[in-house]
Amino acid sequence: MALGLLSLALGCSAGGDEASSTPFNSTQPNGSAGSSPSATAGASGSPAPSPAAGSGGASGEGNPPLGGLAGQNAGGSAGSGSALPTAGTGGVDAEGSAGTTGSAGTTGSAGTGSVGSGCAGSGVFLCDDFETATAGVFPNGPEWLPNQCTSHNVDASVAHTGTQSLRGGAEAYPACMARADISDQTDVYARSWIALGDVSSNSGHEIGFLEFGPTDADNPELRVGLRNNDSVCIAAPGVEVTVDGVAGGERTTCSGVALEANRWYCLEVHFSRGPGRIAFSVQIDGQSVVPNTEYGDAMPAWSDGPLFLKLGRSSYGGNGVWPVWHDDVVLSTQPVGCAP
């Protein structure tokens, strides 16, 4: 299928039926590089066949590199056109409160899989490929807290590996995300393969994919997702991290790295917490898009006690109707890498 650059419109009104989409369906990372011809769309609700390998490109496993994406960062420096842009912090958050500019962290080490790899890796405490879950309903494995929401369910027609994945549909705020109690953890490496559906004209200003928080409901939390041309990331839309529960209100780090629809990406997030502090970094396909960043003025709720992972799709400032799929999810105390 055609892989169009994801460019989200900024409508903020709720509602609308979910757009039909045909995400990449694969049993391994995306194949040969090069341009791929468009595939004929299948029947409504069914994914189109995987596209044939493009001609003229160099053969090789894995997604194409994310280099060559330029962007000026909100509160940070402009990125170069030949490499990933430098992440910036600060800006005005969606609720209008000023975000305090934080100090730039050092670039985190890549999760190459040399320590952990998939479910068999050392330190793994949660692993789900959704293959044994009941299709068509909220994931019912022991990893996840029970939930009766209908916007998130196990999809038997789309997968990164195997035949099933978790589909997150239109939902305002994180109440319907798949949630796991990981309160015993203070240093977490999370890996999820994600695919985005075709965007709609009602996409909202912030879409979350993977979140951490000391409560299984809303704030305070750390949200990893997309922001697009809103008051915070207007100069560098794309993958972002928004943190609440720190002094001065929300803070957002804008990467300027856009994602395409209908393609699988390896999303890796490192999160750690301690007395009065939290730290985080984000990688896409093994490349750093948000370098290690630490806030030393976190509220006490972050320091100890409960901690929850939230996975799926959430919408802030709008209720966009395009879905997000997750597959081959791993949480570990050590780097996981992108191997299934």
Domain assignment present for 6: no
CATH of the domain at 182: 2.60.120.200
Domain assignment present for 18: no
Domain assignment present for 252: yes
Domain assignment present for 142: yes
Query: What residues make up the domain containing 305?
Result: 88-332
Domain assignment present for 220: yes
Compute the C-alpha angle 209/192/157, nearest 5°. Answer: 90
Give the global pTM. Answer: 0.70
Domain assignment present for 41: no
Is 284 in contact with 87 (CB distance < 8 Å)?
Answer: no
Reduce the DSSP state of residue 300 to 3 states and report it.
helix
Domain assignment present for 156: yes
Reduce the DSSP state of residue 176 to 3 states and report it.
helix
DSSP strand pairing (165-168 vs 238-243): unpaired
The whole-angstrom separation of Cα 80 and Cα 86 is: 8
pLDDT tens track, the chain, 340 positions: 333 333 333 333 333 333 334 444 544 444 333 333 333 333 333 333 333 333 333 333 334 334 332 222 333 333 333 333 334 444 334 333 333 333 433 333 333 333 445 688 889 999 999 999 999 999 989 999 998 888 899 999 999 999 999 999 876 566 789 999 999 999 999 999 999 988 654 455 788 899 999 988 778 999 999 887 667 888 888 899 999 999 999 999 999 999 999 999 999 999 999 999 999 999 999 999 999 999 999 999 998 789 999 999 988 766 567 899 999 999 999 999 998 7
Is 321 in contact with 172 (CB distance < 8 Å)?
Answer: no
Domain assignment present for 105: yes
Domain count, the chain: 1
